[in-house]
């Protein structure tokens, strides 16, 4: 019978030792409670594909919450449980997290034609999943440890690199699976199966996507945009008319496509610099998706996707600050311009905005200017602080910021590159002030 293949070798060879031990202990613990436990889903898929994945999803035939509590006691950790869904997360002291779900037959309602009584709970659990490749499980009990459970020919689909649903109502049941299908297809370089693609096109044509709540769509879109190379997924969404189904203004046009392609290039470049902070890349792609829109259109999209008021406002504000900076940045002269001018133009723009400006204008001089800011200017700091000004006898006030700004500018423009020069400049400014406005002659000797 298929499904009897042993994954013990893979588990031994491809997992960190601690994780293998954890799975074995989970299996023994389940047995001691009279349960069967399985590791399921993306973890098994990635194990077979040889991709690292440490997210443990366990399914227990038995009481999942009791099992999670026993696991936390035995391994040291705490449990967050959801009684409504019979699920729990075990947060182990060593930082690992294990998600536990309960497989219980009586919870599922299925079309009468299905011979429900003959199905084991694990089979029903797997049948509710999105795609065959995610519907694999591995036995953890000591007698069967490592044995693969494959009811739906997932191994064949992994080999053929195919994304297939388990039944024809899958996208009707949950249209977010359309976005998931695209994400997995692009991430693994698989192909959505012909029948599955027909079901997707049908679901979209029949407006099933309209029924999805904003936050659920947004959650999956964000997931797509945070994967490695989202452009292919975005294009695929557009080709399947999914973007337009989510919101008519989201459909791609040549301009958006170009900006998104540049965005992906810029984001990849920036990631290779290995500098902090990391941008929230979805915002950059989202700016690209909204390229050429008016604010009220962006608002429409934000509302469709259930943005909170705060998120909507911060996103619109980001667009405005980009717009206010763009012209000056694009015109800044890479050869003759003052570095301080570039710095002050960009310093308060969120990183996502700076990277988006780069994507918006692929001209080489613009790329160089922004790159200069990101790789060099942004992190330079003057070697003096407010305390130094205080020590000079300057009373605290708005002048502090002005002086520090002037010193920063001088540093960036190569005129005060060491602490001594910066102190001298600050002192000249402070003394001038004090001589004119503050306590004449009261400056203490340093």
Q: Of 167-186, which residues contact ligand ATP (CB under 6 A)?
A: 174, 176-177
**Only segment of 127-135, 302-310, 316-324, 333-341 that touches ligand ATP (CB under 6 A):** 127-135
Please answer whether residues 348 and 378 qualify as being in contact, where contact means their C-beta atoms are separated by less than 8 angstroms.
no
Shortest Cβ distance from residue 234 to ligand ATP (Å)? 17
- Judging by beta carbons within 10 Å of its beta carbon (0-12, 13-18, 19+), is residue 96 exposed, middle or buried? middle
Measured N-to-C along each axis, helices 214-226 and 230-239 cross at an angle, to the nearest 10 degrees, of 140
Number of neighbouring beta carbons within 10 Å of residue 22: 21
Residue 164 touches ligand ATP, criterion: CB under 6 A: no
Residue from 22, 29, 41, 430 in contact with ligand ATP (CB under 6 A): 41
d(CA 339, CA 418): 17
Considering the complex, state which of residue 99 and residue 249 has its C-beta at the smaller distance from ligand ATP.
Answer: 99
Containing H/E element for 149? strand 148-149
Question: Which residue sits closest to ligand ATP, CB atoms considered?
Answer: 42
Please answer whether residues 303 and 297 qualify as being in contact, where contact means their C-beta atoms are separated by less than 8 angstroms.
no
Considering the complex, state which of residue 217 and residue 345 has its C-beta at the smaller distance from ligand ATP.
Answer: 217
Q: Please, which residues bridge with residue 40 across strands?
A: 137
Residue from 16, 54, 55, 206 in contact with ligand ATP (CB under 6 A): 55
Residue from 27, 129, 163, 200 in contact with ligand ATP (CB under 6 A): 129
Residue 353 touches ligand ATP, criterion: CB under 6 A: no
d(CA 191, CA 222): 21
Residue 228 touches ligand ATP, criterion: CB under 6 A: no
How far is the CA of 163 from the CAs of 34, 52, 54, 237, 352, in angstroms? 35, 20, 22, 15, 33
3-class SS of residue 150? coil
Residue from 36, 125, 130, 157 in contact with ligand ATP (CB under 6 A): 130
Shortest Cβ distance from residue 335 to ligand ATP (Å)? 46
Shortest Cβ distance from residue 129 to ligand ATP (Å)? 4
Shortest CA distance to 204 belongs to which of 250, 246, 266, 261? 246
Residue 42 touches ligand ATP, criterion: CB under 6 A: yes
Residue 134 touches ligand ATP, criterion: CB under 6 A: yes
Where on the chain is the footprint of ligand ATP (CB under 6 A)? 41-42, 55, 57, 129-130, 134, 174, 176-177
């Amino acid at each position: 019978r298929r499904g009897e293949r042993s994954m013990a070798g893979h588990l031994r060879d491809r997992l960190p030792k601690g994780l293998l031990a954890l799975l074995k202990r989970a299996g023994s613990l389940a047995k001691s409670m009279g349960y069967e436990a399985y590791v399921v889903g993306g973890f098994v898929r990635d194990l077979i594909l040889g991709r690292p994945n440490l997210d443990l999803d366990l399914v227990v035939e038995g009481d999942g919450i009791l099992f999670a509590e026993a696991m936390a006691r035995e391994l040291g950790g705490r449990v967050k449980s959801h009684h409504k869904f019979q699920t729990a997360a075990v947060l182990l002291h060593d930082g690992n997290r294990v998600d536990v779900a309960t497989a219980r037959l009586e919870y599922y309602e299925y079309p009468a034609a299905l011979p429900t009584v003959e199905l084991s709970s694990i089979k029903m659990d797997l049948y509710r999943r999105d795609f065959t490749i995610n519907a694999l499980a591995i036995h953890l009990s000591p007698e069967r440890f490592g044995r693969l459970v494959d009811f739906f020919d997932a191994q064949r689909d992994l080999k053929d690199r195919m994304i297939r649903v388990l039944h024809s109502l899958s996208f009707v049941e949950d249209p977010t699976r359309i976005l998931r299908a695209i994400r997995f297809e692009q991430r693994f370089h698989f192909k959505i199966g012909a029948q599955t693609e027909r079901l997707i096109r049908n679901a979209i044509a029949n407006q099933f996507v309209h029924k999805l709540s904003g936050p659920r769509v947004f959650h999956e879109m964000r997931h797509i945009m945070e994967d490695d190379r989202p452009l292919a997924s975005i294009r695929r969404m557009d080709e399947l008319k999914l973007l337009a189904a989510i919101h008519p203004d989201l459909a791609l046009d040549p301009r958006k496509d170009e900006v998104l392609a540049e965005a992906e290039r810029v984001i990849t470049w920036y990631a290779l610099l290995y500098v902090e902070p990391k941008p929230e890349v979805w915002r950059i792609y989202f700016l690209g998706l909204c390229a050429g829109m008016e604010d009220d259109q962006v608002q429409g999209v934000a509302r469709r996707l259930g943005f909170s008021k705060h998120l909507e406002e911060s996103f619109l504000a980001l667009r405005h600050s980009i717009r206010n900076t763009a012209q000056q940045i694009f015109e800044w002269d890479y050869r003759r311009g003052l570095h301080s001018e570039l710095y002050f133009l960009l310093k308060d723009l969120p990183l996502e905005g700076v990277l988006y400006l780069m994507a918006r204008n692929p001209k080489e001089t613009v790329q160089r200017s922004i790159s200069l800011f990101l790789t060099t200017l942004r992190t330079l700091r003057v070697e003096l602080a407010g305390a130094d000004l205080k020590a000079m006898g300057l009373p605290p006030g708005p002048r502090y910021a002005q002086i520090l700004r002037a010193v920063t500018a001088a540093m960036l423009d190569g005129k005060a590159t060491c602490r001594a020069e910066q102190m001298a400049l600050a002192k000249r400014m402070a003394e001038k002030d004090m001589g004119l406005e503050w306590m004449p002659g009261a400056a203490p000797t340093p």
